[in-house]
Chain A
Amino acid sequence: MKIAIHDNAGSFSDRWISYCLENKIDFKKVNCYDSDIINILDDCDGLMWNWNQIDYKAMLCARQLTKSLEHKGIKVFPDTNTSWHFDDKVGQKYLLEAIAAPLAKSYVFYSAEEALNWIKKTSFPKVFKLRGGAGSINVSLIKTQRAARQIIKKAFHEGFLPVNRAADLKHRFWVFRRDKSWNSVKKIIGGFGRLFFPTEFERFAHKQKGYVYFQDFIPNNDYDTRLVVIGNRCFGCRRYCRKNDFRASGSGLCKFEPELFDKNCIQSAFEIAEKLETRSVAFDFVMLEKTPKIVEISYCFPMEGASDCCVGYWDRDLNWYDSSLNLQYFMIEDFINDLKRK
Chain B
Amino acid sequence: MKIAIHDSPGSFSDRWIAYCQENKINFKKINCYDTDIISQLDDVDGLMWNWNQEDYKAALFARQLTKSLEKKGIKVFPDTNTSWHFDDKVGQKYLLEAIGAPLVKSYVFYTAKEALDWVERTTFPKVFKLRGGAGSINVSLVKTKKKARHLIKKAFKEGFLPVNRISSLKDRFWKLERDKNLDAAKGIIKGFGRLFIPKEIERFSPNQKGYIYFQDFIEGNNFDTRLIVIGDRCIAVRRYCRRDDFRASGSGIKEYDPKLFDKRNIKVAFETAKKLRSKSVAFDFIWQDNEPKIVEMSYTFIMGSFYDDCPGFWDNNLIWHNTPVNPQYFIAEDFIRELNENIPELSQSN
Contacts and interface: CB of A to CB of B under 8 A. Distances in A.
A and B associate in one complex: yes
Interface of A: 33, 35, 37-39, 56-57, 60-61, 64-65, 67-69, 71-72, 74, 84-85, 88, 90-91, 94-95, 97-99, 107-111, 114, 118, 204, 206-207, 209-211, 275-276
A155 to B, nearest CB: 10
Interface of B: 33, 35, 37-39, 56-57, 60-61, 64-65, 67-69, 71-72, 84-85, 88, 90-91, 94-95, 97-99, 107-111, 114, 118, 204, 206-207, 209-211, 275-276
Contacts of A84: 64, 67
Contact of B204 (A68, A85, A209): A209
**Which secondary structure characterizes the binding site on chain A?**
helix
A336 to B, nearest CB: 22
Contacts of B61: 90-91, 94, 108, 110, 211
Given A57-B211, A95-B67, A97-B38, 19 more contacts: A35-B109, A57-B210, A60-B90, A60-B110, A61-B90, A61-B211, A67-B84, A71-B95, A71-B276, A85-B64, A90-B61, A94-B37, A94-B64, A95-B68, A98-B71, A114-B33, A114-B35, A207-B206, A275-B71
A88 B68 CA distance: 13
A109 B118 CA distance: 43
B60 A210 contact: yes
A72 B98 contact: yes
Contacts of A91: 61, 64, 67-68
A38 B94 contact: yes
B94 A64 contact: yes
Contacts of A65: 94
Contact of B111 (A33, A61, A90): A33
Nearest to A55: B110
Contact of A35 (B95, B98, B107, B275): B107
Contacts of A114: 33, 35
Nearest to B99: A71
B90 A210 contact: no
Nearest 8 Cβ contacts at the A-B interface: A206-B206, A91-B64, A64-B91, A68-B94, A94-B68, A98-B72, A72-B98, A204-B210
A90 B60 contact: yes
A61 B98 contact: no
A264 B206 CA distance: 43
A91 B63 CA distance: 9
A38 B97 contact: yes
B64 A210 contact: no
A276 B71 CA distance: 8
Contacts of A111: 33, 57
Contact of A56 (B95, B108, B210): B210
Nearest to A61: B90
Contact of A211 (B37, B60, B275): B60
A235 to B, nearest CB: 25
A193 to B, nearest CB: 21
Contacts of A108: 35, 61
A127 to B, nearest CB: 15
A88 B64 contact: yes
A114 B85 CA distance: 29
22 contacts: A38-B97, A57-B211, A60-B110, A60-B210, A61-B211, A64-B94, A65-B94, A67-B85, A67-B94, A67-B95, A68-B97, A68-B98, A71-B98, A72-B98, A90-B61, A94-B68, A97-B68, A108-B35, A110-B33, A114-B35, A211-B57, A275-B71
A95 B206 contact: no
A88 B67 CA distance: 13
B95 A64 contact: yes
B114 A33 contact: yes
Contacts of A207: 206
B153 to A, nearest CB: 14
Given A57-B210, A118-B35, A210-B56, A64 B90 contact: yes
A186 to B, nearest CB: 28
Contacts of A110: 33, 57, 60-61
A99 B67 CA distance: 11
B235 to A, nearest CB: 25
Contacts of A35: 107-109, 114, 118
Nearest to B55: A110
A71 B99 CA distance: 7
Nearest to A213: B35
B110 A94 contact: no
Given A67-B84, A84-B67, A206 B207 contact: yes
Nearest to A38: B97
Contacts of A90: 60-61, 64
A210 B108 CA distance: 28
A98 B38 contact: yes
> Taking each of A69, A94, A114, which has the highest tally of chain B beta carbons within 10 Å of its own beta carbon?
A94
A94 B57 contact: no
Given A38-B94, A67-B84, A97 B39 contact: yes
A252 to B, nearest CB: 31
A204 B157 CA distance: 8
B68 A33 contact: no
A67 B91 contact: yes
